[in-house]
Amino acid sequence: MKLGIVGLPNVGKSTLFNAITQAGAESANYPFCTIEPNVGVVTVPDYRLDDLTKMYTPEKTTPAIIEFVDIAGLVKGASKGEGLGNKFLSHIREVDAIVHVVRCFEDENIVHVDGSIGPMRDIETINLELIFADLDIINKRIDKAKKLMKSGDKKYQVEIELLQKICAALEDGKSARTIDFTADEEEMIKDYALLTLKPVIYAANVSDEDFANGIENNAMVEELKTFAASEKAQVLTISAKIEEEIAELDAEEKLAFLSELGLEKSGLDRLIQASYTLLGLISYLTAGPQEVRAWTIKRNTKAPQAAGKIHTDFERGFIRAEVVSFDDLMAYGSYNVAKEKGLVRSEGKEYVVQDGDVILFRFNV
């Protein structure tokens, strides 16, 4: 999974990126300090891996990972090449979801590219650039479909109607993700690679004081939540400054610090959880003396396709999946005991893999 961190200059993008990846991207008080996208890889926290590692004492344990891409600040006119323009838009195209960092704090020492703090204005600035970029794609496809329609193939008329539906929403200033598509339309739009169709998490970056004291009185965050709901997006309230402090602590100090703040999870852990929910992802597990590993798949994935995540041969030669739930395995202390109790199931090609399934695939190529 690849998440792109975007936002206007000086909203806390690189500070957040540094904190969650500890990759040390340059963070400075001026626009475009991030010119090439910085990439950091973080592991997905999963207590189940820890428990399975204790049970199997494998040679290695491999968690699932998420790739974060820190994309430089967009400005008005980016879709027309302003600032560092289309280069940034191309980087956004490559990610699975967008983490849009929105500044919801006042600080006279940190300049704002527009001279004042305005979260909704900031969001509109970036969303409009993405909309303009999508409009360019849609209009070109409409022209192409109209030419192809002369062949008499009715499928192009259907495509034109869909494209015009999207065009109308974009021209109204709405993102493509706000449109209700049919299943057939969803299949058709996969090839369009629309920026405004990408799932979005708005990261409301508040001051450390606001975050520590609770953000109930931050009107900017409340306004953002209302907007996000209308856009089928999520909101995650974070303090990039606090996340930066957490990143420097060891595991024990981190737990104590989070406890002081009344939190169970860091911003990174909450961001990962929100990303999994947003993208409809789950993890299944494999365990043995050689390796304990988490595998990320889309929810509702069937067993052969889940096996294909490990190796294409597993999917091609799939025979069956031997499945036990993580909770059942832990409850009885070993795979063999769980099997004796009838809790290890033999599942076929139609089995839909569940989050937390511990699976042994049988295949023959």
Segment 159-188, tens digit of pLDDT: 999 999 999 999 999 999 999 999 999 999
Where is pLDDT greater, at 179 or 71? 179
Mean pLDDT of the chain: 86
Mention every residue, 6+ apart, whose C-beta is less than 8 A from residue 119. 102, 103, 104, 204, 220, 223, 224
Binning pLDDT at 50, 70 and 90, where does residue 27 land?
Answer: low
pLDDT digit string, tens, across residues 130-152: 899 899 999 999 999 988 888 77
State how far the Cα of 37 lies from the Cα of 16, in Å rounded to an integer: 14
Q: Is the pLDDT of residue 318 over 90?
A: yes
Tell me what pLDDT residue 263 has. 82
Tell me what pLDDT residue 165 has. 95
The lowest-confidence range among 66-70, 329-333, 352-356 is 66-70
Percent of the chain with pLDDT over 70: 87
Tell me what pLDDT residue 216 has. 56
CB burial string 96-121: b at 16+ within 10 A, e below: bbbbbbbbbbeeeeeebbeeebebee
Sign of CA dihedral 71, 73, 75, 77: negative
pLDDT digit string, tens, across residues 231-244: 888 999 998 888 88
Tell me what pLDDT residue 107 has. 67
